[in-house]
Structure 1
Amino acid sequence: MDSDKKQFSIPKFLKSLTREIIVPVALALIVIQYVVQAFQIPSGSMENSLLTGDFLLGLKFTYGSPIPFTNQKFPGYALPERGDVVIFRYPGEPEYPDNNPARYTHMFNALMFGNVYWDHEPADGQPHLVHYADGPKDYIKRCVAVSGDTLQVHNGVLAVNGEWQRTLPAKGKWTASHRTSSPRDERGPIVIPSVGDTLYVDSLSLEQLWWLRSVVVQENPDSRVEYDISLWKDGVEANNYEFEDFGIPVESERGFTLNALLQRNQLVLQRVNQGDTVRGKMPFAFYRDYARIAFLPVVIPEEMQGSFARRVSYMAFEGAQLQDLEGNVAQLNARLAADTLADSSAAVTDSSAAPAKPHFEIRKKLIVDGNPIDRYVVKTPLFFMMGDNRDNSADSRYWGFVTLRNIRAKAFVLYFSFENDDQAFALGNPFTWWRLPFRIRWTRIGKIIDLID
Structure 2
Amino acid sequence: MEEPPKNFSIKKFLKSFLREIIVPIVLALVVIQYVIQAFQIPSGSMEDTLHTGDFLLGLKFTYGSPIPFTNRHFPGYAEPKPGDVVIFRYPGEPEYPDNNPARYTHLFNALMFGNYYWDHEPEKGKPHLVHYADGPKDYIKRCVAVSGDTVAVHQGRLSINGKEQTELPGRGKLTMSFRSHSPRDERESFVIPSVGDTLFVDSLSLEKLWWLRSIVLQENPDSRVNLELALWKDGVEANNYIFEDFNLPVETDRGMLLQALSGLRSKTDSRPVWGDTVTGSVNFEFFRRNAGIGFIPVPIPPEAQGSMSRLVSYVGFEGSLLRDLEGNVAMLNAPAVTVDSTVADSVASDSAAAESAFMEPSTQPRFEIRRRLLVDGKPIDRYVVQTPLFFMMGDNRDNSADSRYWGFVTLRNIRAKAFVIYFSFENDDQAFSLGNPFTWWRIPFRIRWSRIGKIISLID
TM range (shorter): over 0.9
Is 2:385 the counterpart of 1:382?
Answer: no
What amino acid maps onto 2:365 in structure 1?
P
Is 2:252 the counterpart of 1:245?
Answer: no
| 8 Å CA contact retained: 2:88, 2:415 | yes
| 8 Å CA contact retained: 2:264, 2:280 | no
Is 2:425 the counterpart of 1:427?
Answer: no
CA distance in 2, matches of 1:182, 1:28: 45
1:333 corresponding residue in structure 2:
333
Map 1:107-126 onto structure 2 (within 5 A). Answer: 107-126=107-126
| 8 Å CA contact retained: 2:305, 2:311 | no
| 8 Å CA contact retained: 2:264, 2:281 | no
- Secondary structure class of the residue paired with 1:244: strand
In the TM superposition, what whole-angstrom CA distance separates every residue of 1:315-348 from its partner, at most 9, and x where no partner exists? 11100011111011111111xx3359979x99xx
What amino acid maps onto 1:440 in structure 2?
I
What amino acid maps onto 1:416 in structure 2?
F
- Secondary structure class of the residue paired with 1:209: helix
CA distance in 2, matches of 1:266, 1:166: 39
Map 1:102-141 onto structure 2 (within 5 A). Answer: 102-141=102-141
CA distance in 1, matches of 2:451, 2:276: 42
User: In the alignment, which of 339, 353, 375 is matched to residue 368 of structure 1?
Assistant: 375
- Alignment length (residue pairs): 442
Percent identity, aligned pairs only, is 74
CA distance in 1, matches of 2:238, 2:208: 23
CA distance in 1, matches of 2:91, 2:182: 20
Structure 1 residue 274, shift from structure 2 partner? 2.7
In the TM superposition, what whole-angstrom CA distance separates every residue of 1:409-431 from its partner, at most 9, and x where no partner exists? 00011111111112222222222
- Secondary structure class of the residue paired with 1:4: coil
Structure 1 residue 444, shift from structure 2 partner? 1.0
| 8 Å CA contact retained: 1:93, 1:136 | yes
In the TM superposition, what whole-angstrom CA distance separates every residue of 1:109-164 from its partner, at most 9, and x where no partner exists? 00010000011111122111110000000010000000000111101010111111
What amino acid maps onto 2:308 in structure 1?
F
2:263 corresponding residue in structure 1:
265
- Secondary structure class of the residue paired with 2:94: coil
2:204 corresponding residue in structure 1:
204
Structure 1 residue 273, shift from structure 2 partner? 3.7
Deviating runs (4+, > 4 A) in structure 1? 266-270, 300-306, 339-343, 354-357
1:65 corresponding residue in structure 2:
65
2:294 corresponding residue in structure 1:
294
Map 1:133-212 onto structure 2 (within 5 A). Answer: 133-212=133-212
What TM-score do the two structures reach when normalised by structure 2?
0.92
Is 2:458 the counterpart of 1:451?
Answer: yes
What amino acid maps onto 2:67 in structure 1?
I
In the TM superposition, what whole-angstrom CA distance separates every residue of 1:200-241 from its partner, at most 9, and x where no partner exists? 000001000001101111000000000100011222211122
| 8 Å CA contact retained: 1:73, 1:405 | yes
1:423/1:445 CA distance change after superposition, 3 Å = same
CA distance in 2, matches of 1:342, 1:204: 39
Structure 1 residue 245, shift from structure 2 partner? 2.1
1:361/1:302 CA distance change after superposition, 3 Å = farther
- Secondary structure class of the residue paired with 1:11: helix
What amino acid maps onto 1:30 in structure 2?
V
1:17/1:372 CA distance change after superposition, 3 Å = same
1:277/1:355 CA distance change after superposition, 3 Å = closer
Structure 1 residue 301, shift from structure 2 partner? 8.0
CA RMSD of aligned residues (A): 2.2
| 8 Å CA contact retained: 1:39, 1:57 | yes
| 8 Å CA contact retained: 1:126, 1:305 | no
Structure 1: runs of 5 or more not aligned: 347-353
What amino acid maps onto 1:103 in structure 2?
R
In the TM superposition, what whole-angstrom CA distance separates every residue of 1:4-31 from its partner, at most 9, and x where no partner exists? 0011111111110111011111000000
* Greater CA drift, 294-303 or 85-94: 294-303
CA distance in 1, matches of 2:451, 2:41: 13
1:304/1:436 CA distance change after superposition, 3 Å = closer
1:218/1:341 CA distance change after superposition, 3 Å = farther
CA distance in 1, matches of 2:185, 2:265: 27
